[in-house]
Amino acid sequence: MKFLLNLLLTAILVILLSYLLPGVSTDGFLTAVWVALALSVLNFIVRPILVILTLPITVLTLGIFLLFINAFIIMMADWLVSGFEVENIWYALIFALLLAIARSILIKTTEDKGR
């Protein structure tokens, strides 16, 4: 149940961010749900591999390179899900940053209300 709630919250955030950012577009809510699902699968499978492979760069940049890994995962979701478009890596970087901030705020508030 918690996974479905997080998936729907992420889908809503994808829709909102596609309205806010001119370089990001989505066809509708169902596409946003597919994007949220693709992001969760990519974060579960691909992200750990990329983090391990880029560990020296991540340590050298004090963790800032993780933002570029997140942006790369957004670009992979763009490639996987038709109807979701990100113009370039810079919009993906902004999208990933705003999505991470908004998800952390929303998940924290939903966990506090659930107690």
pLDDT for 32-66, tens place per residue?
999 999 999 999 999 999 999 999 999 999 999 99
Domain count, the chain: 1
Half-sphere exposure of residue 22: CA atoms within 13 angstroms, side-chain side: 0
pLDDT at 75: 95
pTM of the entire predicted model: 0.87
More confident residue, 111 or 11: 11
Write the CB contacts of 14 (distance below 8 Å, at least 6 apart in sequence). 26, 32, 35, 36, 84, 99
Half-sphere exposure of residue 77: CA atoms within 13 angstroms, side-chain side: 32
Percent of the chain with pLDDT over 70: 97
Give the range of the structural domain holding residue 41, as residue numbers without chain letter.
2-114
Q: Does the structure show a pLDDT above 70 at 113?
A: no
How many degrees, rounded to 5, is the angle at CA 1 between CA 27 and CA 80? 30
Strand, coil or helix: what is 27? coil
Residue type at 114?
G
Buried b or exposed e, range 39-56, using 16+ CB within 10 angstroms: beebeeeebeebeeebee
**Mean of pLDDT over the chain:** 92
pLDDT for 2-14, tens place per residue?
889 889 999 999 9
